[in-house]
Amino acid sequence: MFSSTKIKSVDFYRKIPRDLTEASLSGAGLSIIAALAMMFLFGMELSNYLTVTTSTAVIVDRSTDGDFLRIDFNISFPSLSCEFASVDVSDVLGTNRLNITKTIRKFSIDKDLRPTGSEFHSVPALHFIKHGEEVDEGSVDSSITLTAANFDSYTHQYPILAVNFYAPWCYWSKRLKPSWEKAAKMIKERYDPELDGRILLGKVDCTVEIELCKRNHIQAYPSIRIFRKGSDVRDDHGHHDHESYYGDRDTESLVKTMEGLVAPIPVEGSQKLALEDKHNNTAGAAKRPAPLTGGCRIEGYVRVKKVPGNLIISARSGAHSFDTTEMNMSHVISHLSFGRKISPQVLSDVKRMIPYLGGSHDRLNGRSFINHRELGANVTIEHYLQIVKTEVMMRKKFGEISLLEEYEYTAHSSLSHSVYIPATKFHIELSPMQVVVSENPRSFSHFITNVCAIVGGVFTVAGILDSILHNTIRMMKKVELGKNF
């Protein structure tokens, strides 16, 4: 058994009897300062321990989210009708997908980007439209020529007014003309405008009646519209709710369609009856409600391969012609992002942990690209996007690691003149590298070690300062007393 005397001999902290020690004001002051310094440094160390630090590395992309990239967007076009707006994607591997509709929604909007109704349902991919074999040999026109001066009166006079908005230079308008005039002649013979008065076929030359065609939002030729008497006439020009006809353009199909419109209306048909029968006679893909305004908001998403490619939004139709000089692809990007959507709460938590994260994943959001015509016609607006994947490694409870992935991008936009139909193009290029941001939590042992170092270091430094100060004061007192050293 060790005696208490032997145990005491290994004491590192030998005690001096209290009656052999002397307290001083300088020592008390330094003790207070040392205590405050310890508390301050301890607080700083605790804050540093609780703060999550990160490290950033750039490595070759090791994506775990498959071979496809999701692109979410919400873009408004004040001057592009939903009737012909098409979303296309292509890439360097030869993939071409035209007029994507499954994951896309369209809403007609006015010039102030406000929606004017419910979702606009596009016509399914247009089938091959049948045209008549008639040849235009300069026969007498049977349809009525409509102008801005007489258009409103005719729309109020006849329960059904079918109008062919055309352009003389348009190939498809030229193919439609013989069938349209022959159909107009047959309808006139069967339903005399003077005696029957239920239907009339007319035509508008959009190269002459420019304002009339703009008023009816005609953006492609030929556009066949079906107006019904008694529809909405609240605005200044008495616009009617109307439908667009997308069916076959041979004489037989046109006549059959017109007869189907007239059949429910008696000879003494009323305005009310024409309205009541409106929805009963517009079923099928041949006729759809025409856009009430000339703009369109396109929202949704597409999936593309992770290779350089393009997202293109433009006017497209296999049986219409477009006047490129009148097309304006100005747009406002409300949202454009890549990859899986991150909930606002998760993004908020991550940005709080890593403040610089998320600064470039919505770089184009809220940006407007408007062509005020000072640049001329045939202007295509192009955006060049370089995308980099960022992967965040976050620590959770029990040592688990969750992955948060987002795509950030840089964007450069330009305007270019083209001989083709103007479009809005997003050129997409993905970087083969990715940024990895890792969380580096501080260990508790490191925290304790630093706390001990703070306490011991401040205590030792304060002791040295106190010794120096105490000896200096003693020497000064001896000098005052005239004592020799």
320 neighbors 85 (Cβ within 8 angstroms): no
149 neighbors 137 (Cβ within 8 angstroms): no
Q: Note if the bond before 222 is cis, omega within 30 degrees.
A: yes
Q: At 172, phi and psi to the nearest 5?
A: -70, -30
42 neighbors 456 (Cβ within 8 angstroms): no
Q: CA-CA distance, 269 to 70, in Å (whole number)?
A: 53
Q: Which of 213, 216, 227, 131 is nearest to 173 (CA)?
A: 131
Q: CA-CA distance, 190 to 287, in Å (whole number)?
A: 23
Annotated catalytic residue: which of 170, 206, 213, 296? Answer: 170
Q: Which of 396, 167, 160 is nearest to 263 (CA)?
A: 160
380 neighbors 422 (Cβ within 8 angstroms): yes
Q: Which of 43, 77, 482, 69 is nearest to 304 (CA)?
A: 69
300 neighbors 105 (Cβ within 8 angstroms): yes
Q: Which of 435, 434, 438, 433 is nearest to 354 (CA)?
A: 438
- Crossing angle for the helix pair 171-190 and 251-262, nearest 10 degrees? 50
Q: What residues have CB less than 8 Å from 412, skipping those under 6 apart?
A: 383, 384
Q: CA-CA distance, 475 to 27, in Å (whole number)?
A: 17
213 assigned to active site:
no
86 neighbors 300 (Cβ within 8 angstroms): no
Supply the residues annotated as catalytic. Answer: 170
